[in-house]
Amino acid sequence: MTDSLILEVADFEHDVLTGIYSEETGKPQPLRITVQARLAVAEHYAPDTPLDASKNYMDLKFAASDALPDGVHFKLIEAVAEHICETLFVQDQRVEAVTVKIVKLAISEAGEKIGITLHRERR
């Protein structure tokens, strides 16, 4: 079995310009985003291991918020997820794979979770 390290920011909410219907365009929609990044794992993690032996969790949150371009309307939430993946791949060569789950909160009628999960491996 191969060792792996997966960092995660789960259920982060952020407003994003997205949607294809007239009632969705022109205004941000609340999305619930979970980002997982699989990293190359270090040989060992000791109590005094420095942060640069891993990755800052806040980089995942940044990719799902501030790294999304202002004023850009993503027709599909798949494109939002794609942008998050690409941001993390560009940030750090140790990122081997990224999984992004997005739930569109505005279209839920009875608490159901409607959305997508995109998984990308580094190419």
pLDDT tens figures, 49-83: 998 888 999 999 999 999 999 999 999 999 999 99
Amino acid letter, residue 90: V
- Short-list 65, 64, 77, 72, CA closest to 103: 77
Whole-model pTM: value is: 0.93
pLDDT tens figures, 99-120: 999 999 988 888 899 999 999 9
Provide the H-helix boundaries in 1-123: 57-63, 77-91
Domains in the chain, start-ordered, CATH in brackets? Answer: 5-121 (3.30.1130.10)
Residue 43: how many other CB atoms lie within 10 Å: 6
- Short-list 40, 32, 34, 38, CA closest to 16: 32
- Short-list 86, 45, 84, CA closest to 63: 84
